[in-house]
Structure 1
Amino acid sequence: MSHDDLRREVRDWLAAHWTGLGSVGQSMWETNDAMRAWYTKVFEARWSVTGWPEIWFGRGFSDEETRIVIEEFARVGAPGAGQDRFNLPANTLLAFGNDALRITLIPGLLKREITTCLLYSEPGAGSDLAGVRTRVERQGDTFVVNGQKVWTSGAASADYGMLIARTDWDVPKHSGLSFFFLPMKQPGVEVRPLRQITDEAHFNEVFITNAVMPVDNLVGGLNQGWRVLQTALAYERSVMGANARGARRGSADVVALARAAGRLNDPQVRQDIARVVALRRLNALNNARAKADLEQGTSSSIMSLGKLAMSRILHEEARVRTAIIGAESLLAGDAHPVADDVNFLALNAYFTSIGGGTDQIQKNIIGERVLGLPKEPELDRNIPFKQVRSG
């Protein structure tokens, strides 16, 4: 099939099936009947992951063919395609999961019938994820989990948690970790919401007490979790580097905001807006480069550039928006929707500064793995984890 024929096929299919979703009112961690129905149609037509092999619900397309599909879906505003580039749990499973787990979970993940959260950070292991102390032990045909996680977005509604936990305490910290898909809706998994500065509660702390899961829910092999985690983090940073959560009310973009405020002819405002637009464009090009380098089952340090850049873009754009509306930014609430949205975006920018690894961690990764600078000293890197001191 030629590229023109493929583009025509995608357009014809969308014309026959895409009617829009209306106001679905979903958060980024939840789904609903309308969204699930559409994603199921996309999955059944094999548009979800066109770059994957046919045996795993794809079409075996090249990168260029996949790009055509994504472009045509984007042209009409239809979601669901290109998940072979951004669906974090599905891509992690395809790369490292066993066949039983792939068959059980991947279709539901691609159809948005199954939701996930990331059980990574702990009270004593956030920036250094290799220091996690949540424990997993095998008992017969199951694994038993005990520990605590924190800053877990979407945990209250998730069906599964992508869990990094310690399975061997007698080896150095990076070598004793394993990666699992933990069923969240079971006794022994307690989720407590954390109130955020935006007055939301998407973050949670999760307490795990004798929770169980089948041995098939191990991903990537026992004590091979660090390698799996790096791939999962690369997909997460790719998504965070390419997209950012918008205003709660869907407010106008920064150019429209300046025009409505009568500030678009202000040379300083125009210069600030141009800087933000240029940074967004440069970041999009960098992300395209990173995704081109990211092969299935690998990680790319370039993803840290995009993730860090998006963090700085959001903070800079929040500063520009605040300057545009001036003293109005002191107001908030439903009676002042423009100011409320500007303040929300300013506060929510810290979400991207922290999630997926803090800005400081991204700078370390870029310095060491992209620029080749000397690594920071790690005195506990090569000793058995049970000998590592903790506070």
Structure 2
Amino acid sequence: MKTRYIIYTLLALVVAFLIYNKFFSKGAKEKQTATAGKGKKKNGPVAVNVLVVKDTAVTNQIDITGTIDANEKVNLVSQTAGNITNIYFNEGSHVSKGQLLVKVYNQDLQASLQQIQAQIVLARDINRRNQILVQKEAISKEESETSQSSLNALQAQADVIKAQIARTEIRAPFSGIIGLRNVSPGGYLSPSTPIATLVNIDPAKVTFSVPERYLPLIKKGGKIIFTVESSRKNFSATVYAIEPSLDATSRTITVRAKAPNADNLLTAGAFAKINLTLDQIPKTIMVPTESVIPDIKSSKVYIYHNGKALAKDVKTDLRTDTKIQIVDGLASGDSVVVSGLIQIRPNAPLKILKVIK
């Protein structure tokens, strides 16, 4: 029985000590004082930086991606089948338009042509004599016409053989750089055998797509600036063709520009980073992006007015990396708050630390 009373007494003392330590000790009182001090509302002005807005000229630009294409590109093939007798180009070299590149066996055609040409010489002499004789009425007009018809038939046969011989000679359709060859002398060449690729990359074509909203701003003759991974140089190109219809999936329009490439720094198939200048806005207001507070229905900014924060709804449009265009809601000379926005509420007192002009 006494033991139980002793235990109860000890528990009561422990509880009493804990209550005293929490609420009545020196440390507890200091903590309460500090907490009460923090709970007091501060009514001092918020220190801010403001920007005095003014009308500025802005160039409307967008960054997009594109592809470098060759001005002309073709896979060389033969129009006839046969054994290759000669190859007249070096891989990776420059060739001129009309230059002979590959020749296929055509000795049989050459022999046939010589035979026809000999017959043409004889037929021409006969036809010339008949024309003289018909004028003297020594032969009939029908005989003269028959000789002329025979001559024309032989000449037509010669033209056919010449066309067949021309097919055995593969020539460059345009000037450019020829790639790696896939054939060898003595090999059999068929119309399905790829010989090599011929590429003309000066000028280079730059193909890219532009969103539909910018379509009215894209004009032939417009300039673009672009870069490629293989060079640190900035390249320029001129828009020369615009696709007449939009892509139904992406709602973009394809545009093509030409870029001079005399130094061969641009390679077909390369990835291009394009900076496209759309137009220039001569007079508008631009503010730092961080000064615009997005809202559910619109956007707003705070301006410094009579020592207090005045919230104003604004309408935005063009954006750059650091600024945003205000098309409605601000006037030149307004002081827009650009710092301390988290602490600001409508009509809160402000203290200007710095004025940005």
Q: TM-score, normalised by structure 2?
A: 0.23
Higher relative contact order (CA 8 A, sep 6+): 2
Q: Which has the larger radius of gyration?
A: 2
More strand by share: 2
More helix by share: 1
Q: TM-score, normalised by structure 1?
A: 0.21
